[in-house]
Chains A and B, each alone.
Chain A
């Protein structure tokens, strides 16, 4: 479904991502793990066209999307949940969710999806009219994921959904991520919490200094001594 070939990104002379190739199949949850600064977020941003790649191709559902404007990516069915959540702090929870459906006009279907999001995250329904900036970090992460779902995407890109959250909140968030995946959503997940990412996904790629060094089935990587030593703290 998503095919990234030879993607290369540089920031003012620094090679952040060096010619990486990977793919995500329809209905799959794929994890991209690696240390801080390995180039994971840069990869997602380049796919979402928020930053320009230097080289390489990105295809989504057979269409080449690496030259599209950033506001057209979501219309193709890719929704990015950005690192640090990126909620609109001075919009209400309901308005943030409405922004998620910005590209849609089908009022009835939007209302149905809103009910679905509130079903996943009842807390958001309780805080509907509150400003997003006043939510806790975990609630903001729920909102960011809910907002992405409001565009009714074909694929979700999740950037560090566990970052800065209490373990109990991480569990709640991942319960929903797994539920969304079980409903058939294709997901590309970035995580520093490698154990969690490998337990949740079917396949995984390991990034180191801008390159993909290892890839395979998540279950196998969980048992790989090298991966365990480097990313699972053993």
Chain B
């Protein structure tokens, strides 16, 4: 029982991070039908920018807490600018190209960003600064930390904020209308370019936040970290029904839980043949199963809440 509860907690934490990243995929896909494979790299750059900014400020004598806030803000700002530039430079010129073209461009942008990050931050693993004090809690035989609680709370609040934006504001209504019929939305006076840019910028801000969470949680970062994270978050978006906001949130949490429980029990299930370091296979088993049996995802055919 304690392993079960422990893995549920771990899964919720990892799942909240997947959900934030998955939202970036799903928002862009919902509006323009593009899978922005460079999104994982945006998250990675968010993590690495935070390391640099915090490192620099601490060296200048700024208190760690303040440096951490500045690092987070810097990561969000850099990632928003990066998301905006990606759309403007790489994808907008291909708006009317066949669908395969922007997809290949997205993979190209992912490679470019990885190499750029390698040139800036080097090939080695970097240590993420300890921004939060180590506080442990125990509940029914399972352990969790303040960092885990904060990750789950912050991502829940952020997702609530996103839902308010999409369902309660004029920009959100324009985004939903654009995702349903781009041409008619422009007839209503919606500047399509601005809405598409907003989807990239908002998705990138969520990605930056996720990047800081990943760094805080694992305390380590690397220029290739965005690849696997991006692929898993993409899986989460597909699981929930790509293009659907609530689907990305639920898909992220579910994927985190599946992975954590899978990693917790894989040893028992295979008689010790496979260990918990095989946890990565679960995401891809999920992806394959969803694509085979329900390619539209959990919420793919439900009406009413795509964005």
Q: Which residues of A contact B (CB under 8 A)?
A: 48, 50, 69-75, 79-80, 82, 86, 88-91, 95, 98-100, 102-103, 131, 133, 147, 151
Say whether, besides A90-B304, A91-B173, A91-B176, A99 and B188 are in contact (CB < 8 Å): yes
Measured between beta carbons, the chain A residues less than 8 angstroms from B305 are 90
Could you say which residues of chain B place their CB within 8 Å of the CB of A91? 173, 176-177, 180
**Chain B residues engaging chain A, CB cutoff 8 angstroms:** 170, 173-174, 176-177, 180-181, 183-192, 303-306
Give A103 to B185 CA distance when docked, in angstroms: 11
Tell me how far the C-beta of A95 lies from the nearest C-beta in chain B, rounded to whole angstroms. Answer: 6
- Judge whether B180 and A102 touch: CB under 8 Å: no
CB distance from B44 to the nearest CB of A (A): 33
Cβ contacts under 8 Å, A73 to chain B:
187
A82 touches B180 (CB 8 A): no
Say whether A89 contacts B192, CB under 8 Å: no
Question: How far is A86 from B185 in the complex, measured between Cα atoms in Å?
Answer: 9
Contact of A103 among B184, B189, B192, B306 (CB under 8 A): B189
Q: Which residue of A lies closest to B191 (CB)?
A: A71
Give the distance in Å from the alpha carbon of A125 to the alpha carbon of B170 in the complex. 21
Residue among B180, B187, B306 with max Cβ neighbours from chain A (10 Å):
B187
Kindly report which residue of chain B lies nearest to residue A82, judged by CB atoms. Answer: B184
B174 close to A102 (CB less than 8 A)? yes
A102 touches which of B176, B183, B190 (Cβ 8 Å): B190
A160 CB to nearest chain B CB (Å):
15
Other-chain contact of B187, A70, A90, A95, A131 (Cβ < 8 Å)? A70
Q: Within the assembled complex, what's the spacing in Å between the Cα atoms of A86 and B181?
A: 7
Residues of B within 8 A of A69 (CB): 191
Q: B306's closest neighbor in chain A, by CB? A: A90
**Given A71-B192, A90-B304, A90-B306, CB of A98 within 8 Å of CB of B173:** yes
Q: By DSSP majority rule, is chain B's interface helix, strand, loop, or mixed?
A: helix
Report Cα–Cα, A69/B192, bound state, in Å. Answer: 10
Instruction: Say which residue of B170, B176, B186 sits within 8 Å of A50 (CB atoms).
Output: B186
13 pairs of residues in contact across A and B, judged by CB atoms under 8 Å: A50-B187, A70-B186, A70-B192, A71-B190, A82-B184, A88-B185, A90-B180, A99-B173, A99-B177, A99-B190, A102-B173, A131-B303, A151-B188
Instruction: Provide the residues of chain A in CB contact with B188, threshold 8 Å.
Output: 71, 74, 99-100, 102-103, 147, 151
Task: Please name 5 further chain A to chain B contacts, defined as beta carbons within 8 Å, in addition to the given A73-B187, A74-B189, A90-B180, sorted by A numbering.
Answer: A71-B188, A71-B192, A99-B177, A99-B188, A103-B188
Which of A95, A98, A99 is most buried by chain B, counting CB atoms within 10 A of its CB?
Answer: A99
How far is the CB of A78 from the nearest CB of chain B, in Å?
9
> Given A86-B181, A91-B177, A91-B180, are A75 and B304 also a contact pair (CB < 8 Å)?
no
Alpha-carbon separation in the docked complex, A79 to B306 (Å): 26
CB of A163, distance to nearest CB on chain B (Å): 16
Which residues of chain B have C-beta atoms less than 8 A from A72's C-beta?
189
CA–CA, A99 to B188, complex, Å?
6
A79 and B186 CA atoms in complex are apart in Å by 11
- In the assembly, what is the distance between CA of A99 and CA of B306, in Å? 16
Chain B residue at smallest Cβ distance from A79: B187
Given A71-B186, A71-B190, the answer on whether A88 and B176 have CB atoms closer than 8 Å is yes
Known: A71-B191, A102-B174, A133-B303. A50 touches B183 (CB 8 A): yes
The chain B residue with its CB closest to the CB of A86 is: B184
**A71-B176 CB under 8 A given contacts A86-B184, A90-B304:** no
| B residues in contact with A90, CB < 8 Å | 176, 180, 303-306
Residue of A nearest to B195 (CB): A71
Residues of B within 8 A of A131 (CB): 303-304
Which residue on chain A has the smallest CB distance to residue B304?
Answer: A90
Which chain A residues border B304 with CB–CB below 8 Å?
90, 131
Min Cβ gap B30→A in Å is 11
User: Which residue of the partner chain, among A82, A89, A95, A151, contacts B189 with CB atoms under 8 Å?
Assistant: A151
Give every chain A residue within 8 A of B303 (Cβ-Cβ). Answer: 89-90, 131, 133
Q: Are B177 and A82 interface neighbours, CB within 8 A? A: no
Q: Which residues of A contact B183 (CB under 8 A)?
A: 50, 70, 82, 86
Please give the distance in Å from A50's CB to the nearest CB on chain B. 6
